[in-house]
């Protein structure tokens, strides 16, 4: 089972610790295609590669994946884009939104019939949603 984990990079790394923890957790359950995204030290500059190289690599990973898990608590053009690509290629998508009341999730994600959105408040809730999602894939 190959999972593409998507999280905000250039949009901001406010929740880098959460991202790293979720990515590590997914890695215990499946092949994680986006190990670099789990690196808590990644800065908003993202990787030091040209944008078109990053696009080519990441899009190939989305295509290769069996499913996508996206952390969507922060606004991110890239994560929104990847979710739509995953839908285009009929990949199951789980979107995890930390609901602290400060922000409303985009209606394009929250309202999509092709993406399963789960609101969480604790990491344990997010991990439990990942367990449930992965169990539906096998």
Contact positions vs its own copies (CB under 8 A): 8-12, 44-46, 49-56, 58, 72, 74-85, 88, 103-113
Strand ranges inside 7-136, DSSP E: 31-32, 67-71, 93-98, 115-120
Q: Rounded to the nearest whole angstrom, what is the least distance from the CB of residue 1 to its own copies in the complex?
A: 24
Nearer to its own copies, 24 or 57 (CB): 57
∠ CA 122-90-64 to the nearest 5 degrees?
A: 85
Q: Rounded to the nearest whole angstrom, what is the least distance from the CB of residue 52 to its own copies in the complex?
A: 4
Nearer to its own copies, 20 or 105 (CB): 105
Hey, how many other C-beta atoms are within 10 angstroms of the C-beta on 56? 12
SS3 90: coil
Q: Rounded to the nearest whole angstrom, what is the least distance from the CB of residue 61 to its own copies in the complex?
A: 12
Distance between CA 85 and CA 98 in Å, rounded? 23
Q: Rounded to the nearest whole angstrom, what is the least distance from the CB of residue 84 to its own copies in the complex?
A: 3
Nearer to its own copies, 11 or 29 (CB): 11
Hey, how many other C-beta atoms are within 10 angstroms of the C-beta on 50? 9
């Amino acid at each position: 089972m190959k999972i593409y984990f998507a999280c905000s990079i250039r949009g901001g790394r406010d929740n880098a610790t959460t991202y790293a923890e979720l990515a590590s957790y997914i890695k215990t359950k499946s092949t994680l295609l986006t190990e670099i995204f789990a690196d808590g030290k990644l800065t908003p500059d993202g990787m030091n590669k040209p944008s078109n190289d990053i696009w080519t690599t990441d899009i190939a990973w989305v295509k290769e994946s069996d499913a996508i898990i996206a952390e969507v608590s922060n606004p991110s053009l890239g994560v929104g884009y990847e979710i739509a690509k995953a839908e285009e290629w009929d990949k199951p998508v789980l979107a995890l939104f930390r609901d602290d009341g400060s922000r409303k999730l985009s209606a394009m994600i929250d309202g999509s019939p092709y993406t399963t959105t789960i609101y969480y408040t604790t990491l344990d809730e997010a991990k439990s949603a990942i367990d449930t999602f992965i169990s539906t894939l096998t």
